[in-house]
Each structure stands twice: as C-alpha cells, then as structure tokens.
Amino acid sequence: MRPYKVLWFIACVMACLAALCVVLPGRVAWGNEELRWPTLAEVFETQESGLKSPETFVSLDTIAPVDTVDIQDTVATKFPKPVIPKLTVDSTTDSRAYLSAFYASLAESGSRVVRVLHYGDSQIEEDRMTMEIREQLQRRYGGKGVGLMPLAQTIRALTVDQELRMNGRHVSPQQGPRRYLVYGLKGVQRADGLYGAMGQMAVMNDSLVRGSEDITAICTPKDGRPRYTKWKVFADTSVHYTFAGDTVHLTGRGNVYGLSQQSETGVIVDNIPMRGCLGLVFTKMNEAQLRRFYSEQNVKLIIMQFGGNAIPSNENPGTIVGIVKGLREQVQFIKRCAPEASILFVGPSDMMRQTEGEWETYPLVPYMDKLLRKMAIEEEIAYFSLFRWMGGVGSMKHWQEIGLAGADGVHFYRGGARKAGNAVAEWILEGVE
C-alpha cells in the first residue's frame, strides 16, 4: 500500500474517533457492561486531572522529620474509591525512642560485631536500599563487607558478583543445589522451618542435584577490592569448607544457610530480600534456630520492610486490617526470637495506578500507612513512613517525572532506592545521642 493511503487511513480513523468523543459522552452502557473512552478535553489535557502538580510536592532535599510531617491523607481523584474507616494515629511520638537497644550497642562496635538484618520485599532487591544504610553505619561505626548472602544468589546484587561451580563446572543458581524458601511456593517449603536467618537455604546432597556435594562459590566485591576481612559460613557441621581470597569451597552433605563477607568488628548490615512477600512468613521459621542466630551473631537491629504487595490486589479496607494484624504477629514473633534487639518497620512507599488514563494513588496506601504506624507504636517498635517521606498522595508521579521511580508506579529505580535508603539511614542516625 502506498504511504499516502496509509496516512489517509490513519487520518480517517482519528477523525472517526474524534467524532465519537464529541457526539457521545465518555461512557455508554452496553448490556451489563460499560464502555469507556476519553473525552476530547481529556485527550488534549484541558480538563483537570485531580492530581497535584509537581510544584506542590514536598522537596526531596528539605524533608521534615517523618514523625511530625503533616501530609494530606485523602486520595484526590474523581474515581470511586472504597469507603475507608476513620483512623486516628499518634503523630507526635518520635518512634526512634524504641531503637534504644540498638543505639546502646553501637558503643561496642569497636570491639565486636553489631549486626543489622534488613528484611523486605522487592523494593530492597539487588541490595539497593540496604547498601546505603550499610555504608552510612559503617562509615560512622566501622565494619566491612556486604554481610549475608545465599549460597545460590538468584537475584544479582549491586555490591557483589557471585559465581557458582559444581565439580569445577559453572552452573546457574537454578542448576545449583536444591533451594528451599519460606516465602516461596509450597513445593520449595520445609515442614521443619529450618530456613536459617535468611528465610532460604540450599541442600548439598548429590542425590538431589548431581554434583551438589562439591561446590565452589566465588563472591567478588563489585568495586574490585576486598571490603571484608573475614568469611563466615552458616551450615550443618557435616559441611566442610575452605577459603581462598573471594572463593569458598564446600564439600559434604548438609544444609547451607548462608555465606557472609564481614569484619571482626563494626556494623554488619545484611540484605535479605523476599520478592512478592507480604511479610507474613516469619512464624513459619524455626524459632529455636532464629533465636540462636540472633543471639550468637549479636543482632541488635532488625528492619522489616513489608506491606506494599498487599496494595495492588486489594480494594477492601478489612483485608488490609487483617494483613496488618498478621504483620503484628510477625513482629511479636521476632521480638520473642531477638529480645535484646530493636525493631524498625519501614512502611510502603506511595503506589499509583492508571485509571482511565490518569494516575492516582491506590486508595488504601494512606490507610495501610496509618495502620502500620499505629501497630508499631502499640508494639513499641520504630516506624519509618516511606509514603509520608516521599510526599504523600500522588508523590510517586513526581518521582517518576524526575527519574527516580519506574513506569509501573510501584518500584523505585536504583537512584530512587538509593535516596530512600539514605533517608532511612539518616533518620536512624539522627536519633543517636
């Protein structure tokens, strides 16, 4: 077909669509269904969208303390939203007071390891937010290395390259030893709850995966120089291992719960991402095993960053109430396992969806943020609101516009994750006397 005919066809189609928008309203009932399309005013952006302009957002460089900042909680949108119960939450208490055990432990960092575990969903994958928290704490209180990593790393980190070999042959994590995950499908879960502190483990057993009784892991810091002084392997006593530079060689049959590149003293911050997880899995883990790890490794701060995965698939406030109740049970379980540690809960960021071509904050994000803060204060743990720190309702759109968040309206880009991680770290450190 000649180019001018293609152009003519396109022009005719656009003219027909424009006529449809002029003659008919933006929606028409069709039996039990409803057909929708944008009006001409919406197409040419002459109609107000209902979202705040970028100039009205909180500046990312001049953000007030998260416990006192006053952010609008009502989602400004013309579209129907669920009826959300009124909820009054204490906004005056500085929840950093509940980090006192962690703050006190920092005085020991010159003579022993002070360990921080950062559990979270996909927002912390690749070590994105955690690496910023680690760098700030280690800069002030010492410590080297990225800390814990699984034997088979399926999601590449920004801080360390990992290669796996079995019987001298390179294999992918999927070809490596059989793995079990507390946050995975039923087929990869264990009945005994022995997942280790990372919630995942690998089994060295030749009958499960051929060659898995002889494994070499090469873990190279990405800056090209060692940032650790000590290897640690968390495994059954039946597993034997030796070290040579960035390489650890393991032989035998047994469970491997994790590797760690660290130092003899200072702060060690472990990145433990759980993709797709709501955070309701800790009570499935063996309490005695966790208690032993937290005690022996001097874990003094546990960061839990969950809640976001509940938002896109739920429109019922009652469901969010139930999920927060479940997260409270996880917090209580962690408190039993680590009675000497402080706990910090990091709430979800602003999250947006497109409805009829317009971006809007998911209606239940502000409600979940309030519920989580209420839960945290009642459980006497610290709470950092990513949602409020970002700027509240509609702020994710601004983050997208300045290149800090992805097109899905949910996840940070790496630059955004770095900024968020730095904000969490600075907020923690501001509470140190």
Query: In this structure, are strands 382-384 and 342-346 parallel, antiparallel, or unpaired?
Result: parallel
Residues with Cβ within 8 Å of residue 109, at least 6 apart in sequence: 141, 142, 143, 265, 266, 267
SS (H, E, C) 193-216: CCCCCCCEEEEECCCCCCCCCEEE
Q: Where are the beta strands (DSSP E) in 167-253?
A: 169-171, 178-181, 200-204, 214-221, 230-235, 239-244, 247-252
How much is the pLDDT for 420? 97
Residues 6+ apart with CB under 8 A from 266: 109, 110, 113, 114, 138, 141, 142, 143, 144
User: CA of 136: how far to CAs of 96, 208, 389, in Å?
Assistant: 17, 42, 19
The answer to whether 315 touches 128, Cβ cutoff 8 Å, is no
- How is residue 276 annotated by DSSP? T
Predicted confidence at residue 5, as pLDDT, reads: 74
Paired residues of 166 in beta bridges:
169, 215
* Beta-bridge partners for 211: none
- pLDDT at position 185 is 83
Spatial CA neighbour of 62 closest among 428, 396, 431, 389: 389
Mean pLDDT by groups of 10 residues along the chain of 433 residues: 74 74 56 54 44 38 40 49 81 92 97 98 95 97 97 91 93 94 90 96 95 96 85 97 96 98 97 96 98 98 96 92 98 98 97 88 96 97 97 94 93 95 97 87
Q: Measured between alpha carbons, how far is 332 from 349 in angstroms, rounded to an integer? A: 23
Query: Residue for token digits 């790890």?
Result: 293
- CA proximity to 348, closest of 281, 405, 301, 426: 405
Contacts of 11 (CB under 8 A, 6+ apart): none
CA torsion through residues 364, 349, 424, 153, sign = positive
pLDDT at 28: 54
Name the nearest CA neighbour of 182 among 197, 200, 196: 200
CATH of 51-143+266-433, one of 3.90.420.10, 1.20.58.100, 3.40.190.10, 3.40.50.1110: 3.40.50.1110
What's the pLDDT score for residue 37? 55
**d(Cα 304, Cα 249) in Å, to the nearest integer?**
32
The radius of gyration computed from the CA coordinates of the chain, to the nearest angstrom, equals 25
Alpha-carbon distance of 68 to 108, in angstroms, equals 31
Contact 266, 143 (CB under 8 A): yes
The domain limits of the chain are 21-50, 51-143+266-433, 145-264
Q: Looking at residue 63, what is its pLDDT?
A: 40
Residue found by looking up tokens 């239940």 in the block: 364
Please provide the size of the chain in residues. 433
How far, in Å, CA of 247 to CA of 261, rounded? 11
Helix (H), strand (E) at residue 32: none
Query: Do the beta carbons of residue 166 and residue 212 sit within 8 Å?
Result: yes
Q: What angle do CA 426, 417, 108 make, to 5 degrees?
A: 40
pLDDT of residue 23: 60
**Cα–Cα distances in Å, from 42 out to 5, 19, 190?**
29, 14, 53
